[in-house]
Amino acid sequence: MNFVYTKHSTTHGKTSWRCVQYFSLNRCPATVETIDAMIYAVNHQHNHEDCYEKLSKNNIYEMNVSPK
């Protein structure tokens, strides 16, 4: 399955990523943490279906718009 993440924060070279569905009503808890492009921690606990195909059809602007 393919999921899409968005950057949450970067501190001391560590970047935290959240599933893009975190900002929806279901607040998906899946996360990834990276250091210099190397994945070192992953929470695969998504609470929704794969959303990559749906989001990849949108342009970048639409993918980055916050829900109203």
Average pLDDT estimate for 7-30: 89
Residue-wise pLDDT for 26-66, tens only, equals 889 999 999 988 888 888 888 888 776 666 665 444 334 44
Residue 10 burial (C-beta neighbours within 10 Å; 0-12, 13-18, 19+) = exposed
Quote the pTM value. 0.68
Enumerate residues 6+ apart whose C-beta is below 8 A from 39. Answer: 32, 33
Q: Is the pLDDT of residue 14 over 80?
A: yes
* CA 1/CA 47 separation, integer angstroms: 13
Q: Where are the beta strands (DSSP E) in 1-68?
A: 5-11, 14-19, 31-35, 38-43
Pairing of strands 31-35, 5-11: unpaired
